[in-house]
Structure 1
Amino acid sequence: MSKLVTIYGGSGFVGRYIVRRMAKAGWRVRVAVRRPNEAMHVKTCGVVGQVEPVLCNIRDEDSVRAAMLGADAVINCVGTFDRKGRNNFDAVQHEGAERIARWAAASGVAQLVHISAIGADAESDSIYCQTKARGEAGILEHFPSAVILRPSVIFGAEDGFFNRFAAMTRWGPVLPLVGGETRFQPVYVDDVAEVAALGAEGRAEAGIYELGGPDVQSFRELMQEMLSVVRRRRLVLNIPFWIAGILGGAMELLQTLTLGIIPAQITRDQIKSLRCDNVVSDGARSFSDLGIKPMASEAVLPDYLWRFRPAGQYEAIKESAGKLGS
């Protein structure tokens, strides 16, 4: 019988790519999510019956344990940007991650892979980064042979980064940024999924891997690249951190007063994390240690950002027609 992998959060952006790779490699895939009825799209990643969404909440001991029964490997993709509520930073990224590792060790799981983030640091000013670091520490305490992946900002067709800012270009001549000079190293989602699959298959050495693409660019440079792809001219306006902090506080207050109906577009915690570069550290293990050449953003962005162009899918035709008339 083929091996079984349980992927916590496997219906999300990164998770679905990992599901696809594991299914293609012949594994049976159990996708552990809070709402299985909203995760049916992952079933098409494999043949009939190969991929199965199951109910799981990583805040619940029995739920986590049941989801990994019989699993040969476990992958945790669950993360959050919510500071408050039951599914807050600490509950999900620290306690939830540690809970998965504890049960994986007790259940005799052979391989554990955890998706963390570059910037994970217990001494960080950002609570998000602190809880990522505490989650890593909890995992290594219970499962020392785990493979931990720290990606920079992840891009791909369903991303919440380039898609978000490309959508903003539709509504005005100014594109506001916080931390315009902060450096990032964007990494393609399927490259992250490939490393996760190697870890689950036991083909990556235990330890922490920092994953970044081939290019290091400032936030401003990334937005200029995006604007070039969507064929729009916008003034990229960098908002000073002190002003951004006031705006973030006001947005958080509005979110609280509206009971979450109007979500904060940026939070004070996100602003704190934007003060630090998000790039692979010198000497860190990365793609090169696994023989993988990561994809550049310029090779992928046009494949999914075309819909934000003024004429959408017909923009290339308009450009060609314009050249004929000149």
Structure 2
Amino acid sequence: MLPLRCARSPVALSVQLPSKRVASFSTSVCRQQLNSDVRITRTGKPILTVSGGRSSLGGYTATVFGATGFLGRYIVNRLARSGCTVIVPFREEMAKRHLKVAGDLGRVVFLEMDLRNTQSIEESVRHSDIVYNLIGRDYPTKNFDLEDVHVHGTERIADAVAKYDIDRFVHVSSHSARLDSPSEFYRTKARGEQVARSIYPETTIVRPAPMFGFEDRLLHRLASPTNIITSNNLEERLRPVHVIDVGMALERMLHDDTTAAETYELYGPTEYSMAEINELVEKEAMKPRRHVNVPKKILKPIAHYANKLLWWPIHSADEVEREFIDQEIDKSAKTFKDLEIEPVELKSMTFEYLKGYRSSSYYDLPPMSEKEKREEKKYLHVIDDQ
């Protein structure tokens, strides 16, 4: 008796060698199950699909540019724990340490990369089945301005993807990306989309709304005691989206080839003004935050020169400009609904992310129940600021 093991099932089938009929039947069963686990990509490469799990072997090889950022850690974790091999190009050694434990041993591979070095970019993508470009910058630095990052960097990555005929390319842009936008950030994001599509027509473009999560710059910036200056009285309107929902959407694009050459607008279910979000932050942190409104004509030049003179990131001139631009949604683009994902409501997550800003006196108080929220609406709170 010799065990004949199936590639998919962990059950061993006992086969007697003299019985050719039983052996051939068992082999055909294993071959049938194996064929159902193999997927042929657009470029003709066979991919062994696995059921998933941190220790899974097989699956896709994915390169994630910008993995050390806010969104990057969520997509790297989802890919690595499903059996994919994730290649993480990086610039700074200490910035990528937390990604080592995102997957099992050997699932996350690090390669040093320079956005101006074409050879290092090509080395990062040459063995991959899908490439995610998450590289972006909110403000210009002394080494890279917004055009260097969003346009020229995207061009080099798209060239490498086209050169090695990578099966899929997903380019993460931004909401409100328009060529005629008064914001340089939105203009360069729109140009980056054009460059990616011109080089690689099957590029999937993703435009996430402002994201919230544990490491965000939305809720935590409003909750910070140093955030006291604004220029538009917190009147900017947007539809925040949970970063975990965006990571889930990016993962599903890997397994769904119908998402190729499509544009996706990923935004939350409810529209808020910044003042309304600030009110949610104050309720959860149980600390009032006073904001001083400075006219745009004064704050913008101050932010411009301060961003050049100081060596730590502060409010840039373009961020001041973006305070006066409401989030715009492209009605022709696809959304979470097309990916069968239900986005999470911002109100349901503020307690989890902002509890750390409470004082010790209120730290252990639970979030308000639905009944308490309904009771609170019955009262009118009058605040005398005089």
* Alignment TM-score, normalising by the size of structure 1: 0.88
Aligned to 2:72: 15
Q: Name the CA distance, whole Å, in 1 between partners of 2:97 and 2:197.
A: 32
Amino acid at match of 1:253: Y
Q: Name the CA distance, whole Å, in 1 between partners of 2:312 and 2:67.
A: 27
CA contact (8 A) 2:355 2:363 kept: no
Pick aligned residue for 2:339 from 290, 295, 298: 290
Aligned to 2:237: 183
Amino acid at match of 1:11: T
Aligned to 1:198: 252
> What is the Cα deviation at residue 227 of structure 1?
1.0
Q: Name the CA distance, whole Å, in 2 between partners of 1:19 and 1:165.
A: 27
Q: Name the CA distance, whole Å, in 1 between partners of 2:199 and 2:274.
A: 37
Residue deviations 1:142-166, cap 9 Å, x none?
Answer: 1111111111111000112211221
Residue deviations 1:167-214, cap 9 Å, x none?
Answer: 12xx6xx94433322211000001111111122333452311111111
Pick aligned residue for 2:308 from 239, 256, 270: 256
CA contact (8 A) 1:166 1:230 kept: yes
Amino acid at match of 2:344: M
Aligned to 2:372: none
Aligned to 2:382: none
Aligned to 2:353: 304
Q: Name the CA distance, whole Å, in 2 between partners of 1:54 and 1:262.
A: 26
Structure-2 change in CA distance of 1:253 and 1:50 (3 Å): same
CA contact (8 A) 1:188 1:297 kept: yes
Aligned to 1:112: 169
SS for the counterpart of 1:284 is coil
Aligned to 1:274: 323
> What is the Cα deviation at residue 267 of structure 1?
2.3
Aligned to 1:324: none
Q: Name the CA distance, whole Å, in 1 between partners of 2:362 and 2:97.
A: 29
Larger mean Cα displacement after TM superposition, 226-235 or 146-155: 226-235
Q: Name the CA distance, whole Å, in 2 between partners of 1:37 and 1:83.
A: 22
SS for the counterpart of 1:232 is coil
Pick aligned residue for 1:225 from 277, 280, 286: 280
> What is the Cα deviation at residue 62 of structure 1?
0.9
More helix by share: 1
SS for the counterpart of 2:224 is helix
SS for the counterpart of 2:143 is coil
* Alignment TM-score, normalising by the size of structure 2: 0.75
RMSD: 2.1
Q: Which structure 2 segments of 5+ residues have no match?
A: 1-57, 369-386
Amino acid at match of 1:222: I
Q: How many percent identity over aligned positions?
A: 28
Pick aligned residue for 2:120 from 63, 84, 103: 63
Pick aligned residue for 2:289 from 230, 234, 256: 234
SS for the counterpart of 1:70 is coil
CA contact (8 A) 2:307 2:315 kept: no
CA contact (8 A) 1:59 1:92 kept: no
Pick aligned residue for 1:124 from 177, 181, 193: 181
CA contact (8 A) 1:121 1:130 kept: yes
Residue deviations 1:202-253, cap 9 Å, x none?
Answer: 345231111111110111111111111111223455x36xx13312311332
Q: Name the CA distance, whole Å, in 2 between partners of 1:230 and 1:35.
A: 34
Residue deviations 1:278-317, cap 9 Å, x none?
Answer: 1433343111111110011122221121111122873418
CA contact (8 A) 2:99 2:108 kept: yes
Pick aligned residue for 2:219 from 154, 162, 165: 162
Q: Name the CA distance, whole Å, in 1 between partners of 2:66 and 2:289.
A: 36
Residue deviations 1:45-93, cap 9 Å, x none?
Answer: 1111111222112222111111112111100111012324222101111
**Greater CA radius of gyration, 1 or 2?**
2
Structure-2 change in CA distance of 1:204 and 1:57 (3 Å): farther
Aligned to 2:17: none
Structure-2 change in CA distance of 1:312 and 1:30 (3 Å): farther
